[in-house]
Amino acid sequence: MEHKARQILVDIFDVEDNNILSKSLTEVIARANETLDKIDDAGKLVKVQVESALQSCKGALILTLNSKEAVNWLKQPEHEMAFTEGFSKGSHIRERSFNLITPRVPIVFEPENRKHLREIEEVNSLKDYLIWKARWIKPVARRCMGQTHAYAILTVTSAEYANTLIRDGLIICGMRVRLEKQKMKLIQCMKCRKWGHFAGECPASDNICGTCGGQHHTNVCQNRSKLWCVSCQATDHASWDRNCPEFQRRCYLMDEWNPEISMPYFPMEHDWSQTARSSRISFNECFPGKFAVNSLHIHGAKLSKRRP
């Protein structure tokens, strides 16, 4: 992680007379450092130097700098601009982004308005340009009558900033909000109602109703009192039911395989960001083998629906 924090990814758009990707890595490093030395800045208190370079996928270079502070310095907009111009015309530093779910944001806030973002930074005594961009989660047109607050997503460019915001919250338009890490979600196919793929890549030829299991789209179901779960082949709940044991089993497995998901913070080198919210219950305790689905048909069985 420490090493990663010292890296930047530079997208290169080479023009004929400036073929940086055909140069040796030693030449790339020399060129980068030459460019950095030329950037005249009184605030350049830290040594800023590229130590190694690596060519990633086509058209990008990974540069490792001497320190994390050097990376932060380089990422300030005016330094970044001077560097990318001098290093390779048209290149830019690609940002890793971290999304934060922000509930209860007053709708007077305008996410596309850069002035609003700068205002939030000012009111909260945050560094300039800490908030990279913002957007509403739901389209504005789909708001209810009289709605005054909505969910937004704020994107920041470092795990450190993101974690600080999760820990301390934020004041937006006079309202204190608590931010949460955007979690990876288990997706359900809107066509066949199975888990783990989108309708666009669904191999099934017909729509399956998420409620009754008939061959029609869920929205037009005429048989809403009949329940059928495609995953469990069971009649006691619908395919979209969040208490579906197959859904819960998959969520649990996803958490187990990606421990990062259950952490409230984005993992980075600080210890406090690496604590999971609660201790885990063993898989077998949660989902006893006898309730396993897909391997065994259990029609209408009363399953242990909720996790303690």
Q: Which is nearer to Zn ion, 147 or 243 (CB)?
A: 243
Tell me how far, at minimum, the Cβ of 307 lies from Zn ion, in Å: 15
191 belongs to the binding site for Zn ion (CB under 5 A): yes
Q: What angle do CA 267, 272, 273 make, to 5 degrees?
A: 20
By CB under 5 A, how many residues form the interface with Zn ion? 15
296 burial level (CB within 10 Å; 0-12, 13-18, 19+): exposed
Given the complex with Zn ion, which of 79 and 249 has the nearer CB atom?
A: 249
Compute the distance between CA of residue 193 and CA of residue 179 in angstroms, rounded to an integer.
31
Of the pair 211, 273, the CB lying nearest Zn ion is at 211
String of contacts with Zn ion for each residue 277-306, x by CB under 5 A: ------------------------------
Residues 207-226 that bind Zn ion (CB under 5 A): 209, 211-212, 214, 221, 223
Q: Does 126 participate in binding Zn ion (rule CB under 5 A)?
A: no
Residue 77 CB, nearest distance to Zn ion (Å)?
A: 44
The secondary structure element, H or E, covering residue 93 is strand 92-94
- Give 301's contacts (C-beta < 8 A, 6+ positions apart): 234, 236, 291
Among 229, 238, 268, 303, binds Zn ion (CB under 5 A): 229
Cα 72 from Cα 75, distance rounded (Å): 5
According to DSSP, residue 100 is labeled E
- Taking CB under 5 A as the criterion, the residue among 246, 266, 268, 287 binding Zn ion is 246
User: What is the rounded radius of gyration, in angstroms, for the C-alpha atoms of the chain?
Assistant: 25
268 contacts Zn ion (rule: CB under 5 A): no
Residue closer to Zn ion (CB basis): 154 or 192? 192
Say whether residue 202 binds Zn ion (CB under 5 A).
Answer: yes
Among 10, 12, 130, 192, binds Zn ion (CB under 5 A): 192
> How far separated are the first and last CA of the chain, in Å rounded?
34
DSSP SS3 for 172: strand
Compute the residue count for the chain. 308
CB of 254 to Zn ion, least distance (A): 16
Residues 6 or more apart in contact with residue 308 via CB below 8 angstroms:
281
In the complex, which residues of this chain contact Zn ion (CB under 5 A)? 189, 191-192, 202, 209, 211-212, 214, 221, 223, 229, 231-232, 244, 246
